[in-house]
Amino acid sequence: MSALEPFGTRLRHAMDERGPLCVGIDPHASLLSAWGLDDDIAGLERFTRTVVETLAGTVAVFKPQSAFFERFGSRGIAVLEKAVVELRAAGALVVMDAKRGDIGSTMAAYAETFLHQDSPLFSDALTVSPYLGYGSLKPAVELARENGAGLFVLALTSNPEGAEVQHALREDGRTVAATVLGHLADENAGQVPLGSFGAVVGATLGDLSSYDLGINGPLLAPGIGAQGATPADLPAVFGPAVRNVVPSVSRGVLRYGPDAAGLRGAAERFAGEIRAAVEAA
């Protein structure tokens, strides 16, 4: 197993070089249909291959949604494994969107699936849920450190149901979300140029100035494009932390497929608009 630079270091370099954009790979049935593909393993393979071959050499980060591959069973997982390997071979970083969260040996097994370099699904980072207590993530944190990988921990998500947990007040007066952000700041303390332990923070949430997003780590920001947020919104939402934002766009790019030129053009437009918004902040 060769040693990797920490995820935060590799992410900073990738976004500086290729632009601050994460493209989600979400092959749900309606999108396959829009591409003229059947909702079967052949459609999944064609869709995934097209995205990888068209964008892997120019986009900084990809976020495959594991569920859309898992629904096809072992054959779907095989497509996902191949995509992860090919994306990384092309110089892109892969954030596996699996939102795993459990305790003890089960959390350790999830971590080994996605964060150990010997795993066929090894990804540069993994989305995880802290709502069994932040300490339940310890096996994933430790394995990520050992393998040069990272985590994106759910903190302030854009779905309205999330508020009942994330905005709940603890006995010390802090919200649950603020507590999660505090733990991540501790994980990233002293890391240069960027820590490897990030938060998931929705780009559609508006003014977040009541939260300290300065965790010295990346902020994965879904919601750009089809969900209503625009690149121009990012400085107002993320404030001084905007340079560490990893804006995630799925349908906003993928709807231009299967035409390769359409996909490339959409990715280039989003990356350029995001870069301009960040640099103007």
Specify whether 82 is catalytic: no
Question: Active-site residue among 63, 82, 99, 138?
Answer: 99
For residues 269, 271, 276, 281, the Cα torsion angle rounded to the nearest 10 degrees is 140
60 contacts 20 by C-beta, under 8 angstroms:
yes
100: left (phi over 0), alpha (psi -120 to 50) or beta: beta
Three-state SS annotation for 197-256: EEEEECCCCCCCCCCCCCCCCCEEEECECCCCECHHHHHHHHHHHHHHEEEEECHHHHCC
189 contacts 220 by C-beta, under 8 angstroms:
no
208 contacts 180 by C-beta, under 8 angstroms:
no
41 contacts 266 by C-beta, under 8 angstroms:
no
- Minimal CA–CA distance to 98: which of 90, 110, 86, 82? 110
192 contacts 166 by C-beta, under 8 angstroms:
no
| Residue 260 CA to its chain's centroid (Å) | 23
Beta partners for 62?
23, 94
Dist CA 123 CA 179 (whole Å) = 26
User: Which residues are annotated as catalytic?
Assistant: 99
